[in-house]
Structure 1
């Protein structure tokens, strides 16, 4: 009788030092809860945490395509200082962003800037407007929101206030949360 020889299976575990490797550091992450797998941030896919499998994944068409797409995108960065508001964008852009934040959807800013440029061709400030959805969103999030939060905190200070919350989900399954703060202004 021959004893059947069982081949011992070796399980490779994810190594955090792979994230320092130039080939892997931008896209490789561990899979939470499973140390035998790795995750590609670009492709949004899992693979076994084996060095050979990681190198094979680098050569796939899918990964190369995602790397190329991501390298073409550029991130806009804004800081929340008042001096940057004046230097980074014109007064007309700030006014349009305030209008959009209060009365409309960010998607409308593309058309609104085009309308302003067509109707006010003789104004230098409208000719220089370069404002679309991405820049508008960044100005709202990084410049206007911190300013108005600070102003609201100073208005409320230590007095009593109440919060009204309203949650909603639109037809495209996007969730919204409206927050209203009620307080009395003390002079």
Structure 2
């Protein structure tokens, strides 16, 4: 007996590279395979500006390109500067880099990243002789980059070496914030011969 019910059919969406050449996707759209390792998945799209993975659906991708968050990250054409021609600013000395890293680590441990905007201005106002913090130019964007791309890889490397073949406990939790961004947090705890316990927290999208 034939059934009158219609069978639903699941359509698997596949990322198409030709989308990248269309005007609405130029400069920001790429395959999820080109995303950082932590964000990669079997199939999908990646926004290089917003740094989020997206469903490989053309209408959804176009809708994302029209959001205010995405438009705000589109860079305006930059003017030619000396740094574009290989000139290195004397301000970027070794001491200023060390200062930036130390402040970024402090913020990561004790405060929200937005606090660095006020902390930087406060330190420069305290330094009346303009010796220590005269060239301090650390704000939330740069601070986040230092934490994510400089401090975190070093801590992760030390963590892997410290754990070695030791036993450890792992707690995993996930959540979604008000911007619909999904986060997952890993809490790892293990024992070291020289220290009673060692804990490490890592989180990511």
Same fold (TM over 0.5): yes
Equivalent position of 2:27 in the other structure = 26
Report what 2:167 is aligned to.
160
- Is 1:135 the counterpart of 2:142 in the alignment? yes
The root-mean-square deviation of aligned C-alpha atoms, in Å, is: 4.2
Return the structure number with greater helix share: 1
Per the TM alignment, residue 99 of structure 1 is displaced from its structure 2 partner at its CA by 0.4
TM-score if structure 1 supplies the norm length?
A: 0.56
2:129 aligns to what SS in structure 1?
coil
Report the 3-state secondary structure (helix = DSSP H, G, I; strand = E; otherwise coil) of the residue aligned with 1:121: coil
Moved more, 126-135 or 161-170: 161-170
Q: Deviations over 1:40-84 (max 9, x none)?
A: 46326xxxxxxxxxxxxxxxxxxxxx5x9723288xxxxxxxxxx
Give unmatched runs, 5+ long, in structure 1: 1-14, 45-65, 75-84
* 1:115 equivalent in structure 2: 122
State how far apart, in whole Å, the 2-side matches of 1:38 and 1:172 are.
Answer: 17
Instruction: Say how many residue pairs are matched.
Output: 140
Q: Which has the greater radius of gyration?
A: 1
Task: Normalising by structure 2, report the TM-score.
Answer: 0.52
Cα 1:86–1:155, aligned 2, differ >3 Å: closer, same or farther?
farther
Residue of structure 2 in register with 1:96 after alignment:
103
Equivalent position of 1:54 in the other structure: none
Equivalent in the alignment of 2:201: none
Over 3 Å counting, the alpha-carbon distance change for 1:179 and 1:126 in structure 2 is: same
Aligned-partner Cα distance in 2 for 1:88–1:73:
32
Q: What's the offset of the Cα at 1:184?
A: 1.1
C-alpha distance in 2, partners of 1:109/1:152? 26
Matching residue within 136, 141, 155 for 1:148? 155
Aligned positions of 1:1-187 closer than 5 A:
17=18, 19-20=20-21, 25-26=26-27, 32=56, 39-40=61-62, 42-43=65-66, 70-72=74-76, 87=94, 89-166=96-173, 177-187=184-194
Cα distance, 1:21–1:153 mapped onto 2, change above 3 Å: same
Segments of structure 2 that go 5 or more residues without pairing to the other structure are 1-15, 31-44, 46-54, 79-91, 195-205
